[in-house]
């Protein structure tokens, strides 16, 4: 049985992906306490209120990674507009947090796959810097 594009995309998880869970587990083991899937503007994946830090884990497809995003060959116009809206929304979200004095860390899916420890260290370095 072949699924339609719509059925396939509806099965893609938007939160608590395997990648997010692994990243959060590593962050937690490093001693960082956080909130997940917040209702804050832009729905950050990780929120660390104490340090005014939000972390977004961006999938290469949905957030338009220049190296890995491959637009489906059907309904190209729709997908180009959809991904473009997502990229513009990411910029809007970044600007919002900057205006209210928070820091945004955006981590690409491919970066976590390549070097999860390095990505966790980005968060840890920010926290260490805020302590001084």
Residue 9 lies in a domain: no
Average pLDDT rounded to a whole number, residues 22-28: 96
Tell me, what's the pLDDT at 12?
54
Percent of the chain with pLDDT over 70: 88
Question: What is the DSSP-derived secondary structure letter of residue 31?
Answer: T
Average pLDDT rounded to a whole number, residues 60-67: 92
Domain that holds residue 83: 14-131
Nearest to 51 by CA among 132, 106, 131: 131
| Pair 42, 98: CB distance under 8 Å | no
Average pLDDT rounded to a whole number, residues 60-71: 92
132 pLDDT more than 80 = no
Residue 1 lies in a domain: no
Residue 83 lies in a domain: yes
Residue 3 lies in a domain: no
Residue 4 lies in a domain: no
70-87, pLDDT tens digit by residue? 998 888 999 999 999 999
Higher-pLDDT residue of 9, 64 = 64
Q: Cα separation of 87 and 54, whole Å?
A: 17
Residue 96 lies in a domain: yes
CA atoms within 13 A on the CB side of 36: 14
């Amino acid at each position: 049985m072949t699924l339609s594009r719509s059925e396939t995309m509806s099965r893609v998880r938007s939160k608590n992906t395997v990648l997010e869970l692994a990243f959060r587990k590593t962050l937690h083991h490093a001693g960082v306490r956080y909130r997940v899937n917040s209702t804050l503007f832009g729905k950050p994946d990780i929120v660390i209120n104490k340090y005014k830090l939000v972390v977004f884990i961006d999938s290469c497809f949905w957030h338009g990674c220049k190296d890995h995003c491959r637009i489906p060959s059907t309904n190209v116009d729709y997908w180009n507009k959809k991904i473009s809206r997502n990229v513009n929304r990411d910029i809007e979200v970044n600007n919002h947090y900057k205006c209210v004095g928070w820091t945004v860390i955006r981590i690409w899916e491919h970066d976590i796959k390549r070097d999860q420890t390095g990505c966790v260290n980005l968060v840890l370095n920010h926290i260490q810097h805020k302590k001084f």
